[in-house]
Amino acid sequence: MLDVAVLVSGQGSNLQALIDACAQDGFPARIVAVISNNPGAYGLERAKKAGIATSVINHRDYDDRESFEEAIDQELKKYKAKFICLAGFMRILDGRFVNRWKDRILNIHPSLLPAFRGLHTQERALEAGVRFTGCTVHIVRPEMDDGPIILQAALAVDPEDDADNLSRKVLELEHVIYPEALKLVALGRVRISGNKAVIEKASYPEHGLISPEPTKV
Ligand code: GAR
């Protein structure tokens, strides 16, 4: 069983998808804590409703990024988290934190990476006139919205779409692929090879974190 902390800043609909997945029989991960930099994040309410421990580490209470991230790290240790899912966590994590948790942080981003890193992705996708958009779950690297891709889902852009309804449609896809990606990682089926993630075909239950070689069972 993989012990996961989820970091949120806002609504937490992806957090909810992860909570619901973890509640299913046999799901290979559990959420040990939800941490937010934003005391008003609705994600904290979702966690409380699900009986999950919550912490607020408000970035405004810290002088610099390093001490903010050190506080998050302490909290992760307190909950004995072994893996992190960023679910609408809107603070950039610096290289030191990311390297400390190397290959142990997942992020979801509302574009088909490497296109449209950053904010306002659907507005930019519409401006660029792309025919497809979607979302990506990837392992976090120090560059923003960068790292080995685990899963993506795409949808065709309807000429009638505006940024709001496109975001809503993409969010629905996010709720499908984020739990699926976490499951693959927790089953040990994801191997990182350079800047790519390789998904092993067979399933190797319960041996935990991403490992360089699948455990023989
Ligand atoms: C989601 O669309 C997620 O992909 C995006 O923020 C939203 C959070 O929604 N994340 C990023 O843009 C990260 N670069 P949620 O709080 O309802 O899960």
In degrees, rounded to 5, the angle at the alpha carbon of residue 215 between the alpha carbons of residues 148 and 209 is: 45
Domain check: are 197 and 114 in the same one? yes
Domain check: are 65 and 151 in the same one? no
Active-site entry in 59, 109, 138, 207 = 109
- Ligand 1 centre from 11 Cα, in Å? 8
- Ligand 1 centre from 215 Cα, in Å? 33
Domain check: are 91 and 122 in the same one? no
Q: Which pLDDT belongs to residue 48?
A: 98
Domain check: are 119 and 210 in the same one? yes
- Ligand 1 centre from 87 Cα, in Å? 6
Number of domains composing the chain: 2
DSSP 118: S
10 vs 90: CA distance, rounded Å: 8
Domain check: are 201 and 124 in the same one? yes
Q: Which pLDDT belongs to residue 201?
A: 82
Query: Atom 6, ligand 1: which residue's CA is nearest?
Result: 88
Domain check: are 112 and 97 in the same one? no
Domain check: are 56 and 139 in the same one? no
DSSP per-residue string spanning 21-63: HHTSTT-SEEEEEEEES-TT-HHHHHHHHTT--EEE--GGGSS
Domain check: are 156 and 213 in the same one? yes
Q: What is the CATH number of the domain that holds 163?
A: 3.40.50.170
Domain check: are 47 and 117 in the same one? no
110 lines ligand 1 (CB under 6 A): yes
Query: Atom 8, ligand 1: which residue's CA is nearest?
Result: 88
Q: What is the pTM of this model?
A: 0.92
Residue-by-residue pLDDT tens, the chain, 217 positions = 999 999 999 999 999 999 999 999 999 999 999 999 999 999 999 999 999 999 999 999 999 999 999 999 999 999 999 999 999 999 999 889 999 999 999 999 999 999 999 999 999 999 999 999 999 999 999 999 999 999 999 999 999 999 999 999 999 999 999 999 999 999 999 999 999 999 998 655 544 444 444 444 4
Domain check: are 161 and 126 in the same one? yes
What ligand 1 atom has the least distance to the C-alpha of 107? 13
Residue 59 annotated as catalytic: no
- Ligand 1 centre from 10 Cα, in Å? 8
Question: Domain boundary at 77, 101, 125, which?
Answer: 101
Q: Any bridge partners for residue 11, and if so which?
A: none
Question: Domain boundary at 101, 116, 138, which?
Answer: 101
Residue 212's region, left for phi above 0, alpha for psi from -120 to 50, else beta, is alpha
What ligand 1 atom has the least distance to the C-alpha of 110? 4
Domain check: are 44 and 122 in the same one? no
190 vs 212: CA distance, rounded Å: 9
Residue of 85, 106, 101 lying closest to 34 (CA atoms): 85
Question: Domain boundary at 101, 121, 137, which?
Answer: 101
**Structural domain that includes position 41:** 1-101
Q: Which pLDDT belongs to residue 202?
A: 64
Q: Which pLDDT belongs to residue 155?
A: 98
| Residue 198: C-alpha distances to residues 81, 137, 154 (Å) | 24, 13, 19
Domain check: are 184 and 83 in the same one? no
